[in-house]
Every structure is written in C-alpha cells, then in structure tokens.
Structure 1
C-alpha cells in the first residue's frame, strides 16, 4: 500500500504526492529540510533493525508474546522459584557474612542473591496485582464454567432422561468434577 503525503495543499485538499523515503511528507511540504531527512533516515534505520530482529526471531522459531499477563505470571513463578532456591542456600549457611583477606566483613553472596530474588519476585507480583491478573483469570474461569453448564444442560435435555436419571445428575456431575481435581 503506497502512502501519500500527510500535508494538505493550499486549497485544503490532501496532497497526492508520495512522501520522501521513511518520511511522512513530500519534498514540497518540508521533506527536503535537513532535520526531516535526518528523522526519516533514523526511522528507516529503526525499521530495518526491527525487520532484521523479526527475521532472526522467525528463523529461530520464536513466537511473539500472545498473552503478556500469562508471560508475566510465568516470570513471577520463575522469580519465586529462584527465591525459594536461594532461601535454601541461605538457610544452609553457618554464617551470613564473610571476611575478605583485607579483614573487611561483608554479606555472603548467597544472602545478596536471595535479597535480589526477593525484590524481583516482589516486583513481578506487584505488577500482576496491579494488572488485575487474578480477577481476569477468575472471570475467564467463570465464563468457562458458564459455558460448561450450558453445554451440560443442552446435552442432558437432548438425552430425554427419566425423572430418576435427572435426579442423579445433581450427584453424578459434581462427583465427576471433583474427580477431575483429584
């Protein structure tokens, strides 16, 4: 799709000329100005870098992020796992400080790593809390449950169950659902 100059002619109509390469306006409407040419060149260079990065990612088989909140949740889980592993190492220490050859006391590396993991996990969890992640997940779960109930009702209605079989539905379906969670 070929773009047109974003400027307007003196009569108010849109300009029909093509903009300069990487720019938004044609040469007549300011595209020849050095700062406009420089900005267009920077834009073209950025587009080229982005296209190259996308080509590399496509070649390597990386897919784009489809659900940023899900990815953030995974990162939070990984940060929590690192925190837990670091906590185990700190708990195994006999002392939390070390003394250098020069006689300077400092915290053990494991303690610093644990503190960093705690901070990182806290930031991820804070981002998730501010994003309303759990509320969104709950709404999706409720929608899924609603669809499941509708499908079950439709299936059971089509089966034309006897009254005694219909009475069993209230017992059998919850048992089957509990079995899924076991």
Structure 2
C-alpha cells in the first residue's frame, strides 16, 4: 500500500497529501527526488522483496514453548543456509563495467555486487546516468541478520534446557521400550519352556537378551537400525 508523504506542507502547515516515492517516506517535492533519498528507497524496496522471498506466513496453531523454540532454530538455520547460497552467488559474479554520467565506461575497480551496486539509473535529463554506491548487498545484510537471530534462538533454547529435556525424554522413552521388549521376551521364553525347550537354555536366552536388546536400541537411536 502506498505511503503518504511524511513531510509538512508549507502552504497548509499540515502533513503533505502527496504519495511518497516507492520505498521512501517523502514525495518528490519534499526531497524524494534527491539521489540519496532514491538510493535509500531502492534499498528498502530490495529488502522488502528479499524478505518476501524467504518468509512464509502461516495460520496460528497450537504449539508448546519448547517445540516453538526448536522449530524456530530449524527454520532460522534453513534461512541461513539459503541466504548463504545467495551470498555465494554474489561472490562468484565478476566485476562489471557501467557507463558514468558522461556515457563512458567506468570500471568498478574489482568490486562486485556483494559490496558495490547500482542504486540509481536514469536515461534522460541533466542528471542522467548510473549511480553506484559502496554498500553491502541486501542478501548479505539479511544473511548476517539471520545468523545473529540463529545465535539468539539457539542460546534461548539452551538456556531453557530444551536439549536437556529432549535427552531426558529420549532416555525415558528408551527405558519404556526396553521394559516392553524385556517383558515380551520373558513371555516368549516361558512359552518355549512350557513347549519343551531345555531349561538350560534359560541362561543362554537371558545373556542374549542383555546383549542384543541394548545394542539394537542404540543402533535405532543412532539411525542405523533396520527399516
């Protein structure tokens, strides 16, 4: 939605009724036509477009604080990885040549889009030409912002004891599963003994259970269990 110019009109003493330039806070009459204002507005527009590319809005849902923290860590880590790819693409771009205000080629001196970019282009009028500025790419800005956010949410998760709770939960679940397996195997042993299996096999059975069950549970926890 278009933003109203934030400047005050001298003729009325009220807020200017004109529309601010895209990405800016003032209209062309109140400074929006200056090179600095247009460059700042262009950066804001680029930032908004980049944010739209990495942000997905969803509907509210029920979630525990612990799971919310873990989910935020996962999403932010994904954002960081995606943005790192965008930054690496910029790093691989070669230096570019552009025309200056006199229409002559101007080498950017080995600079590339990561730290130097075109902020304004005009084809007609006395102020025609291309304007470049030494400023970090919006992708790099977002990358750094998401990295800081990842550190913040990861630290919050650690302070909240999320990982410790997950470990305790896994241990509790493992104990429950091991108990169920042991009871199942004990029941099977009793059935086999009742069916005529030699009583001396009880010791072999128990030794095998003690060795095999923990080994398979550890393999399952490590992701190496059979499907």
TM-score scaled to structure 2, two decimals? 0.47
More helix by share: 1
CA distance in 2, matches of 1:131, 1:87: 28
**Equivalent position to 1:164, from 177, 180, 204:** 204
User: Where does residue 113 of structure 1 map in the other structure?
Assistant: 142
User: Where does residue 68 of structure 1 map in the other structure?
Assistant: 65
User: Where does residue 135 of structure 1 map in the other structure?
Assistant: 164
CA distance in 2, matches of 1:135, 1:108: 39
SS at match of 1:140: helix
CA distance in 1, matches of 2:153, 2:219: 33
- Specify every segment of 5 or more residues in structure 1 that has no aligned partner in the other structure, as ranges: 1-60
CA distance in 2, matches of 1:149, 1:109: 52
* Aligned-CA RMSD value: 2.4
CA distance in 1, matches of 2:60, 2:83: 30
CA distance in 2, matches of 1:137, 1:179: 18
More strand by share: 2
Count of residue pairs brought into register by the alignment? 122
Deviation (angstroms), 1:103: 3.7
CA distance in 1, matches of 2:140, 2:75: 18
Deviation (angstroms), 1:62: 5.3
Deviation (angstroms), 1:63: 3.9
1:148 aligns with 2:177: yes
User: Where does residue 115 of structure 2 map in the other structure?
Assistant: 97
Which region of structure 1 is more displaced relative to structure 2, 94-103 or 82-91?
A: 94-103
Deviation (angstroms), 1:77: 0.5
- Specify every segment of 5 or more residues in structure 2 that has no aligned partner in the other structure, as ranges: 1-58, 92-111, 121-130, 191-201
| Higher Rg of the two aligned structures | 2
